[in-house]
């Protein structure tokens, strides 16, 4: 299968059948072409690419999360690099800013595939049996695990922490991610500080959603600072709403998704652990 991507990220494949533009001049095998679009702001480009590839190939389809595809079984390396795994789809919540419930529905557990970057939308909403199997898989990977899909603070239980600690003992834990999407989440972060206290602060991050409808730069900056300066046990990581392309918002996000840019010099020794291109967007 030929895959065409509307945007190149650190998680998109780079094999010989992965493309990011119109068809090249050289010959390609006669294969189905799938144009993948993750972000709604890229839909126009995805449609344009689809038309361009349709001039040379018969079987061309355009889809992806931006077109509300529900997603099926996850196949490593097809639309995401083999580092990434997605073991479930959907979410039980209905947060007004989130596309996931509308696109993917409630939680669906998938076949567990190898990978060390867990991009499930809400892993902790899965059954205990499924979660334990995911951690068993992670313990056998060559690279320490990251959870950029986020761990739901409403669902964290002591046995979840035990699984994370076991990965840490095996030197198989890179980063833990949670979300601060509403003002109510601030108290949740404070309560979670003790639960996650055994993990290095340089490995604990809290997504802070900014730039959504009716948000302001001042309010967004205040939320980021409250997470950081409130000593709640997590480093803030700004996530700009998908449809916001304003320069000032991007500038704010750029600063607050790089710990090296906002951490005090005496506490910035772990910023190399985090890569500013992490994203909660799943595109498998």
Spell out the long-range contacts of 225-229 with Cβ–Cβ below 8 A and sequence spacing 24 or more: 226/186, 227/180, 227/186, 227/189, 228/262
Domains of the chain: 2-66 (no CATH), 70-272 (3.80.30)
Q: What is the pTM of this model?
A: 0.85
Helices in the chain by DSSP H: which ranges?
Answer: 43-54, 100-104, 128-138, 158-169, 185-195, 217-229, 247-256, 259-262
For residue 167 the two structure tokens come to 């990965």
Dihedral pair phi/psi, residue 203, rounded to 5°: -110, 0
pLDDT tens digits in sequence order for the chain, 284 residues long: 999 999 999 999 999 999 999 999 999 999 999 999 998 889 999 999 999 999 999 999 999 999 999 889 999 999 999 999 999 999 998 887 788 888 898 999 999 999 999 999 999 999 999 999 999 999 999 999 999 999 999 999 999 999 999 999 999 999 999 987 766 677 778 778 888 888 888 889 999 989 888 889 999 998 898 888 765 678 999 998 877 778 899 999 999 998 888 886 644 444 444 443 444 444 45
**Structure confidence at residue 265 (pLDDT):** 62
Name the strand (E) or helix (H) holding 84: strand 84-85
Sign of the alpha-carbon torsion through 269, 272, 276, 282: negative
pLDDT for position 113? 97
Give the model confidence (pLDDT) of 181-236 as tens digits. Answer: 766 677 778 778 888 888 888 889 999 989 888 889 999 998 898 888 765 678 99
Residues 6+ apart with CB under 8 A from 16: none
d(CA 89, CA 73): 9
Distance CA 209, CA 223 (A): 9
* Structure tokens given for 30: 């006669």
């Amino acid at each position: 299968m030929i895959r065409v991507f509307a945007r190149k990220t650190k998680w998109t494949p780079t094999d010989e059948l992965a493309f990011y533009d119109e068809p090249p001049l050289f010959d390609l095998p006669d294969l189905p072409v799938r144009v993948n679009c993750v972000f709604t702001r890229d839909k126009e480009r995805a449609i344009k690419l689809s038309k361009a590839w349709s001039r040379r190939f018969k079987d061309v389809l355009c889809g992806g999360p931006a077109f509300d595809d529900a997603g099926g079984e996850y196949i490593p390396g097809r639309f995401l690099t083999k580092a990434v795994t997605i073991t479930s789809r959907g979410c039980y919540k209905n947060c007004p800013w989130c596309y996931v419930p509308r696109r993917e529905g409630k939680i669906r557990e998938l076949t567990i595939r190898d990978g060390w970057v867990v991009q499930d939308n809400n892993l902790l909403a899965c059954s205990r049996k499924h979660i334990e199997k995911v951690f068993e898989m992670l313990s056998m990977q060559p690279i320490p695990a990251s959870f950029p899909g986020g761990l739901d603070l409403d669902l964290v239980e002591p046995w979840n922490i035990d699984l994370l600690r076991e990965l840490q003992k095996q030197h198989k834990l890179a980063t833990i991610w949670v979300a601060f999407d509403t003002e109510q989440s601030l108290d949740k972060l404070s309560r979670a500080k003790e639960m996650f206290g055994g993990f290095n602060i340089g490995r604990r991050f809290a997504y802070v959603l900014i730039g959504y409808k009716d948000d302001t730069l001042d309010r967004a900056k205040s939320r980021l600072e409250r997470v950081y300066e409130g000593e709640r046990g997590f480093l803030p990581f700004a996530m700009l709403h998908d449809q916001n392309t304003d320069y000032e918002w991007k500038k704010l996000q750029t600063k607050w998704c790089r710990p090296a840019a906002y951490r005090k010099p005496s506490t910035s020794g772990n910023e190399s652990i985090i890569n500013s291109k992490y994203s909660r967007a799943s595109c498998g």
